Amino acid sequence: MSDALGFWFFTLPNYVLAAAMYTLIGRYLLSLVFKSESELVIWRTFRQLSDPILGAVRAITPAIVPGGLVMVLAIVWIILLRVLLFFALLNLGVMPQGGA
């Protein structure tokens, strides 16, 4: 079995979190270009992919935080989750070893 498949418990969650993070970053950058009611396919796709994440973050974020900051907070939360995943698995001693 290859090393990548042997460490699926790190690779798979990290990949999913990375995809969510980059989707949110893409939506944020596109929001600077497109209006929120735009019907372009790329904008609708990014909205559909990131709305569940933003809904979850909005549920745990105080209502006083403006909507634009919720997206930034979601990105920060995902970065923190990736770092916590890395250090948790590192402390358990189950991280893939680099080098030869």
Query: Cα(82)–Cα(22) distance, rounded to whole angstroms?
Result: 13
Give pLDDT, residue 24: 95
Tell which phi-psi region holds residue 61, choosing left (phi > 0), alpha (psi between -120 and 50) or beta: beta
DSSP of 10-70: HHHHHHHHHHHHHHHHHHHHHHTTS-TT---HHHHHHHHHHHHHHHHHHHHS-TTS-HHHH
Give pLDDT, residue 11: 85
Give pLDDT, residue 1: 45
pTM of the model: 0.83
Encode pLDDT of 53-79 as tens digits: 999 999 998 989 888 899 999 999 999
Residues of the chain scoring pLDDT < 70: 1-6, 98-100
Query: Cα(76)–Cα(51) distance, rounded to whole angstroms?
Result: 16
